[in-house]
């Protein structure tokens, strides 16, 4: 069932990212990167929803590597991902999902 949740989340990400994106939309190693989004769409520099990364302009190579690891997490946990992420806490340095995705690549250190 996790694949169904990942697919649903990806469709939600596309439904948000495609119409709101004012910058380029591209695919990088299976990650759909939607840029130029308004800042109210995400916290910090961007957010990953399924296989879609929503950002204004935070799309460097290291960040995209970090976000691709979040895609793997979405595939593993499906729609449990938002709840599990919330339980892990807002402090990225203690959040197991951010640690697994790479704190340095995510710009947390």
Per-residue model confidence as pLDDT tens digits over 47-84: 999 999 999 999 999 999 999 999 999 999 999 999 99
Q: How many domains does the chain have?
A: 1
SS3 95: coil
**pLDDT score of 1 more than 80:** no
CA-to-CA separations, 76 to 6, 39, 50, 64, 89, in angstroms, rounded:
8, 28, 11, 19, 19
Expressed as residue numbers, the domain containing 16 is: 2-101
Is residue 108 in a domain? no
What is residue 43's predicted lDDT score, i.e. its pLDDT?
86
User: Is residue 60 situated within a structural domain?
Assistant: yes
The pLDDT of residue 98: 98
Answer whether residue 107 is part of any domain: no
Spatial CB neighbours of 104, under 8 Å, sequence gap ≥ 6: 62
pTM: 0.95
Structure token pair of residue 18 = 């495609």
């Amino acid at each position: 069932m996790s694949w169904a949740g990942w697919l649903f989340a990806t469709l939600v990400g596309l439904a948000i990212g495609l119409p709101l994106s004012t910058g380029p939309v591209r695919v990088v190693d299976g990650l759909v990167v939607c840029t130029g989004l308004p800042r109210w769409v995400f916290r910090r520099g961007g957010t990953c929803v399924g296989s879609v990364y929503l950002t204004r302009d935070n799309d460097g190579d290291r960040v995209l590597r970090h976000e691709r690891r979040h895609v793997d997490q979405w595939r593993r946990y499906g729609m449990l991902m938002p709840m599990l992420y919330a339980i892990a806490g807002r402090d990225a340095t203690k959040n197991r999902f951010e640690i697994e995705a790479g704190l340095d690549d995510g710009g947390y250190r």
